[in-house]
Amino acid sequence: MKSTVAFILCVASVSGSLMAQGGAIVLRGATIYPVGSAPIENGTLVIEGGKITAIGDSQTPAPADARAIVCDADWVITPGLIDAGTSLSISAKNSNEQAKEVTPHMRILDAVEAGHRAFEKARNNGVTAVQINPGNANVIGGLGAVVKTWGGTTQEMLIKDASALRVTLGREPGSGNSRSGTQHNIYYRRPSTRMGTIWEVRKAFYDAMSYRDQKTIPGDAGPPPIDPGKEVLLQVLDGTLTVHTTARGEEDIRTALRIADEFGYRTVIQGGIEIWQVIDQVVDAQATVIFAPPSLNGANPDGAEGRSHTMNMMAERGVPFAIQTDSSLGERPLAHEAMVAMRNGLSFDKALASVTLVPAQVLGINDTVGTLEPGKNADLVVWSGAPFDPTSSALMVFIDGNQVVGPKTN
Amino acid sequence: MNSKIAVLGALLAGSLPSQGTLAIKAGRLIPISGQELQNATVLIENGKIKAVGTDIEVPWDAKIIDASDMVVMPTYVTAHTTAGFRTGNENLANIPYITVADGIDPANAYFEESLRNGVGTIHVIQGNQTLFGGQGMILKPYGKTIEEMAVRSRSGLKLSLAPAAGSRMAQIQKMRRGLEDIVEYIADHERKRQEFEREKAAGATSDESFDEEMDPLKKPMVDVLQGNEKAYFYIPSAVELAEARRLIAKYDLDVVLVLGPRCHQAVESLAQSGIPVILDATMEYETTDSETEVVSSHCPAALFTKAGKEYALSLSTSANTMNRYPWWQMATAMRNGVTREQALASLTIVPARILGLEDDVGTLEPGKAANLQILTGDPLKATSWVETVILDGEVVYERDRDGRLRHLFGKDRADRQSVKN
């Protein structure tokens, strides 16, 4: 029991990749978009020991024994893309623990299938890291995990376990509950309304708070037995664990911010389809958004009404946002979502940041990935042309210096 | 939330006269029929293209559309779709006598979406869940009535080998039997005619000529078998190809093959044939080996190109897929190795040829219908939008008057507040 608790308390255990290769590689000739610094034409990028060791112009030296990859002049190198919201490899049946509506201690990492085809698809489309979330059928679904898209086991892939706690507002958590539509049968479960969903969140945090009180000042019966779920919620209240609240409609976005404020924790808005209606509140709350997915221009989950200019609006108002695909099988390439964002008016720089640096920051992994700079992991994509152009594709993908895709030729 | 908009501004209400002369100054012109031109002019008179080039003299009284910072090219041609009406399928096996003209709704959002995407010529035909299906028609996605929209009121007949109730063998057998029935019917009719001629020669009848008309329910299929009507022959997969080709040869059918989504295995066999093909809107797909689970990717468009055979691309009619965009479909072909020129042709001049409209649409050449689109940038860029569509010399779409786009981009917010309850 003790050891279980210790493991649960060990939030955000950051594991180094086990697969760093020794052989040096040098990529020459392509345009490099490092993100966060100026693009380099006819650039050079050196990889040693799975890390980027140098990046610069054509004169940048490389170790004599480095494997040289000579790129065409119209090829482009970007950081590996990071998808901040997915359920990659998780089937619908495996994503929601149906025992309760509030399951903060469920860990999605236990359900991730390392060899799943979805990771290969993601890699082929230039995605090198993803957050995998528990499903949206529970009000508090559990703990997500951030993994690389390559590795033999989930431990090898793991960047960050317990990356965030997923909370889902709106009708989705209740949608499966009234199976035969009436409240008078044994299958009926709470919540069944938006109000009920929000009450479940509140109740969970109130319960966690009284649990903390009992622990702090034990009564005659002594301290309460360890409750793993409440321990997770206490981390949220202590500010050591971030909440990712799925809120699509404007009322849910407002509620997500209000509840976070009420209990004094920080939340990232996930989904955020109707942010265009409540942009002022989002700006005021200094919230970060995992926006998803841009290709759903009109009709959206949970009846939310999307607008094509929402990301432009967030960019103008200084709301940091990452783009997610929300896909489970890798069916929607992240680069396509960035392409749609650009079609709708987002600048290339913003689009690129929203699938590299910003998601790295949101997930707290930007010390190792998200940009191309010396010392960071050699996670990068070589594109056949302008990234996010419909005629471009990922020719080569590197994760920790390993060439995991390509070279592809047409 | 989820407030449904009751009133959206009037859409697509441009009304430049199709009479008189119209000159379009193009920054870049992609005629499809030849090299791209910089700073070219398209001269339009009475709905037709009169001249295209860089040294065109514009009449003093011509109306001028300045697209000098834009790209001008022909509108796209959709060679096959089952959209534009409420129910694309009658779900009956033998209905060659029905026509889509009776089912098309000119106000259907599909037509509006077509203009938004730069599509100017559409072949609408009934769905594939049939055996001898209905008659299609070719139309432009603009007009209040089917008559205004019509380009060709009859395009051909849908024949389909899509297995009804899951039985491929039964469907093929019904197709054989159905065709044989028509052959017998034609022979029977001919026998009666000859009998009449004999009677007439013998003075046994006072009638001047043989006047037994063919059964109108069978006549469309008779036309197909007598070579007077084109058949749009759907095969759902490569499996049906062999039988389809046998039937086409046996009855000498004038056929366009409409391929289902998984037809990569049909490429080799079709490459050498003269049969025109229309590809499915699903252009990339994977197959998995049932034993080894090894996954293979396929792109029939790229395979056909490699085999040297042209084809028409299709556009999806589903709202939530990229496949509905012409630029995406062409780019997909290009990502798989098809050249830019081939990709552009497969949504313009090739489908025009397949529909027998190559003298009217598909390129910007003198004498053809003035069907063109003005884009904000290169047609293969995701960031390019169709700014204006001109059909038969008439401006029928302007992006800044597109109610749906104004709505999606929040430009109608003021209107929206006033209609919100």
pLDDT over 70 at B187, yes or no: yes
Quote the CA–CA distance of B121 and A303 in Å, as a whole number. 34
**CB distance B390 to B396 below 8 Å:** yes
CA distances from B385 to A330, A401, B400, B402 (A): 28, 39, 11, 12
What DSSP state is assigned to residue A248? -
Quote the CA–CA distance of B369 and B392 in Å, as a whole number. 5
Quote the CA–CA distance of A246 and A8 in Å, as a whole number. 23
* A390/B328 CB distance under 8 A: yes
Type and span of the H or E element at B45: strand B37-45
Complete domains list, chain B, with CATH: 21-75+362-419 (2.30.40.10), 76-360 (3.20.20.140)
Quote the CA–CA distance of A378 and A368 in Å, as a whole number. 9
Percent of all residues in chain B with a pLDDT value above 90, rounded to a whole number: 75
Tokens describing residue B415 = 């209107």
pLDDT over 80 at A254, yes or no: yes
- Summarize the confidence of residues A343-372 as an average pLDDT: 97
Distance, in angstroms, between A220 CA and closest chain B CA? 51
pLDDT score for A332: 82
Average pLDDT over chain A reads 89
Quote the CA–CA distance of A226 and B312 in Å, as a whole number. 66
pLDDT over 80 at A249, yes or no: yes
Quote the CA–CA distance of A359 and A81 in Å, as a whole number. 9
Distance, in angstroms, between A281 CA and closest chain B CA? 16
Q: Which of residues 280-339 of A touch B (CB under 8 A)?
A: 295-299, 303-309, 313, 336, 339
Tokens describing residue A26 = 């040098």
The closest CB to that of A307, out of B331, B335, B410, belongs to B410
Complete domains list, chain A, with CATH: 19-79+370-410 (2.30.40.10), 81-368 (3.20.20.140)
pLDDT score for A330: 78
Residues of B in contact with A250 (CB under 8 A): 1
Tokens describing residue A174 = 């209740």
Distance, in angstroms, between B399 CA and closest chain A CA? 14
Q: What is the pTM of this model?
A: 0.90
* B408/A250 CB distance under 8 A: no
Best CA proximity match to A247, nearest among A258, A239, A236, A238: A258
Best CA proximity match to B2, nearest among A344, A277, A323, A173: A277
Residues of B in contact with A391 (CB under 8 A): 331, 334-335, 380
Distance, in angstroms, between A134 CA and closest chain B CA? 24
Residue pLDDT, tens place only, A1-21: 344 444 443 333 334 444 445
Type and span of the H or E element at B76: strand B76-81
Quote the CA–CA distance of B44 and B55 in Å, as a whole number. 15
Residue A151's Cβ-side half-sphere holds a number of Cα atoms within 13 Å equal to 23
- Summarize the confidence of residues A257-270 as an average pLDDT: 96
Percent of all residues in chain A with a pLDDT value above 90, rounded to a whole number: 75
**CB distance B13 to B401 below 8 Å:** yes
* B408/A393 CB distance under 8 A: no
- Summarize the confidence of residues A102-107 as an average pLDDT: 93
Best CA proximity match to A151, nearest among A188, A119, A178: A119
Q: How far is CA A62 from the centre of its chain?
A: 34
Q: With b meaning 16 or more CB within 10 Å and e meaning fewer, what string describes B76-92?
A: bbbbbbbbbbeebbeee
Residues of A in contact with B382 (CB under 8 A): 339-340, 342-343, 388-390
Distance, in angstroms, between A352 CA and closest chain B CA? 15
List the single residue in A with minimal CA-CA distance to B343: A391
pLDDT over 60 at B380, yes or no: yes
Best CA proximity match to B297, nearest among B309, B276, B283: B283
pLDDT score for B320: 75
pLDDT score for B254: 96
Q: Helix and strand tally (H, E) in chain B?
A: 12, 16
Confidence category of residue A179, pLDDT binned at 50, 70, 90: low
Distance, in angstroms, between A54 CA and closest chain B CA? 31
pLDDT score for A299: 55
List the single residue in A with minimal CA-CA distance to B306: A410
Kind of pairing between the strands at A44-48 and A51-56: antiparallel
Query: For chain B, what is the largest distance between any 2 Cα atoms, rounded to a whole number of angstroms?
Result: 85
Sign of CA dihedral A204, A206, A211, A215: positive
Residue pLDDT, tens place only, A43-52: 999 999 999 9
Q: Please report where in the chains the tokens 């293969």 appear, as a residue.
A: B380
**Phi, then psi, of B377 in degrees rounded to 5:** -165, -165
* A339/B337 CB distance under 8 A: no
- Summarize the confidence of residues B279-286 as an average pLDDT: 94
pLDDT score for B184: 96
Q: Which of residues 199-258 of A touch B (CB under 8 A)?
A: 249-251
Quote the CA–CA distance of B408 and A128 in Å, as a whole number. 32
Best CA proximity match to A371, nearest among A129, A53, A50, A36: A36
**CB distance A328 to A92 below 8 Å:** yes
The closest CB to that of A343, out of B2, B380, B383, belongs to B383
* A297/B408 CB distance under 8 A: yes
A161 touches chain B (CB under 8 A): no
Type and span of the H or E element at A250: helix A250-263
Tokens describing residue B122 = 């559409």
* A305/B2 CB distance under 8 A: yes
**CB distance A49 to A289 below 8 Å:** no
Quote the CA–CA distance of B23 and B30 in Å, as a whole number. 16
pLDDT score for B416: 55
Higher pLDDT, B42 or B5: B42
Quote the CA–CA distance of B166 and B281 in Å, as a whole number. 22
Distance, in angstroms, between B189 CA and closest chain A CA? 55
What DSSP state is assigned to residue B168? H
A140-148 sheet: strands from edge to edge:
A81-86, A127-132, A140-148, A158-168, A243-247, A267-271, A289-291, A321-323
B150-160 sheet: strands from edge to edge:
B76-81, B119-124, B132-139, B150-160, B231-237, B255-262, B277-278
Best CA proximity match to A319, nearest among A369, A294, A282, A371: A282
Quote the CA–CA distance of B115 and B110 in Å, as a whole number. 9
* A342/B382 CB distance under 8 A: yes
Residue pLDDT, tens place only, A130-141: 999 998 888 999
pLDDT over 80 at A341, yes or no: yes
Q: How far is CA A128 from the centre of its chain?
A: 12
Q: Which residues pair with B158 in a beta bridge?
A: B232
- Summarize the confidence of residues A393-403 as an average pLDDT: 96
pLDDT over 50 at A210, yes or no: yes
Q: First and final CA of chain A: distance in angstroms?
A: 56
pLDDT score for A274: 94
**Phi, then psi, of B110 in degrees rounded to 5:** -60, -40
- Summarize the confidence of residues B125-150 as an average pLDDT: 93
Quote the CA–CA distance of B81 and B139 in Å, as a whole number. 11
- Summarize the confidence of residues B365-376 as an average pLDDT: 98
Residues of B in contact with A296 (CB under 8 A): 320
Chain B interface disruption, residue of A274, A391, A408, A409, most B CBs within 10 A: A391
pLDDT score for B93: 84
Residue pLDDT, tens place only, B200-219: 888 888 888 888 889 999 99
pLDDT score for A177: 59
Tokens describing residue B379 = 């047609």
Residue pLDDT, tens place only, B286-340: 999 999 888 889 999 999 999 999 999 999 988 778 999 999 999 999 999 999 9
